[in-house]
Structure 1
Amino acid sequence: MSGGGRFTQALRSSARPVIMEVKRRSAGGTDLMAGRTVAEVVARYEEAGAPCISVVTGRWFGGGEELLGEVAALTGLPLLRKDFVTGRRQLERSRELGACAVLLTVKLLPAEVLARLVDHALGLGLTPFVEIADAAEAAAVPRARECVVAVNNKDIAVRERGAGDLGRSGGLLPAVLRAGAGCAVSASGISAPADAARLLDSGFDGLLVGTALLRAPSPRRWCAALDAARTPPPPPSPPEHRLSTA
């Protein structure tokens, strides 16, 4: 299976479809690692049953290409490179470093550039993880059936500072589904397990959660609370989702 196919399949087949994020700093500049190594964070995510991991390589969040390479060396889970990708070489470099999916932000890309990048990503075996913030952007996603279409609950115009608006996801889910998205995700600003459960129960195929999991005393317990809030609760994740970091 291609790298991109692995990412979507892992997310859609998971009983707990939460993309767990590795990032060094919050949007406000707060350290999120709290003295932990990247290996320790990745191990906690694997223990919690993560189907996929997002790696924030953007400089806003203290990231860089080396972080993606480090995470890829630690885990066999499918990886999303989360950054402002605007060119073909960034896609190629993402694959070289071990990504299976790559963030493309509709707000930042002219339509013709977005279409070329989606085509090139798919040609490389990468899943386009296309981020939208309104209905017009959802309708503009090219080859949406082959993409993850993600509603960003935060505003990139202010560098995602401040609380997210989870109502944006609820309001835009119908537009994402009308666009024919192969996988619908709610991303960013998701803190409480009960909110995460409501988003999944409303029809999202997956969630992307970063800061809340990095600040949680135990990602496994956060996920257990999510499971308990689901209607009905999901079955346990299969053992193969709990991979070794060796």
Structure 2
Amino acid sequence: MLEKFRAAKAAEVRRLVGLEAAQQLPEPYKGKRPSFSDALIAKAPMAVIAEYKRASPSMGDINLGLGPHDVAAMYAASGAAAISVLTEETYFKGSLDYLETMSRCGLPLLRKDFLLHPLQVVQTAATKASALLLIVRMLTDVELNEMLRLTYDAGLEAVVEVFDERDLERAEAAGAHIIQVNNRDLDTLKTDFAVATRLAAYKRPGRLWIAASGIKTRADVEAMQALGFDAVLVGTSIMAEADPGAALARLAGSAA
């Protein structure tokens, strides 16, 4: 599955390389970015990162009638600590433009995509995103270190995603501060909280940990909190609802 995503990003990388050669890369955003990590800490003991997700390989189209501006307003009003924004176009029907639109709600934004090349960090730094996603097993150790360095130098934060113990070991060695544990099996696309349960034993002080995939109920959120996670990332389970804001409020425990 990850190789399919890698192939889907090849055209974007080629375009960025062309822009660099022509000295036409976008300038970095000069404004103040809200802190992604501070937003999670402020919602302790459990923050909810709500995702704007229009489609996925496992679910197909998801609530395409809900635009990014409206969903951002719903999430901001319903207890989200931050918003994850899918920008991958081929499989998730995302767009980099959504970062500008959704930034108006004031919450920090995570660019969720398949970032493989240093110029994609430069591209992200030109947006109003506060953080970007790096998936350990899509990068070599050298690439991961370089992508993290560029991310930090650009004033962005990195959410570093792991699927198993080996991924976690590599993330820690590279100096990741925010670890995201993905409960999804990439071969079957099924989710299993046994992944989060197993990896939680390795959590180190001074790190922020996020649990992702398969979180559908308030009980699921509380289970991740009990394991020591600082946040959960939820996408499909709220985006598939007629009112994602209300669904988020129930998960966050802020529903009236």
| TM-score category, normalised to shorter length | 0.7 to 0.9
Q: Residue 42 of structure 1: which of 61, 67, 72 is its match?
A: 72
Provide the identity percentage: 31
Q: Is the 8 A contact 1:194 1:225 kept in 2?
A: no
Alignment of 1:8-27 (within 5 A): 8-15=37-44, 16-27=46-57
Deviates more, 1:77-86 or 1:219-228: 219-228
Deviations 1:148-169 (A, max 9, x none): 100011134x4xx633111111
* Matched residue, 1:211: 236
Secondary structure at 1:43 match in 2: helix
Alignment of 1:80-159 (within 5 A): 80-142=110-172, 147-156=177-186, 158=187
Matched, 1:60 2:91: yes
Q: Residue 200 of structure 2: which of 158, 173, 176 is its match?
A: 173
Q: Residue 224 of structure 2: which of 199, 206, 214 is its match?
A: 199
Q: CA RMSD in A?
A: 2.5
Deviations 1:1-50 (A, max 9, x none): 974x7100101111550100011113235221242222221111111121
Q: Is the 8 A contact 2:192 2:214 kept in 1?
A: yes
* Matched residue, 1:232: none
Residue identity in the other structure for 1:26 = S
Matched, 1:222 2:252: no
**CA shift in 2, pair 1:67/1:2, >3 Å:** closer
- Paired with 1:174 and 1:99, the residues of 2 have a C-alpha distance of 31
Q: Give me the TM-score of the superposition, normalised by structure 1.
A: 0.81
Q: Is the 8 A contact 2:36 2:108 kept in 1?
A: yes
Secondary structure at 2:126 match in 1: helix
Aligned length: 223
* Matched residue, 1:188: 213
User: Mind listing any 5+ residue stretches in structure 2 that lack a counterpart?
Assistant: 1-30
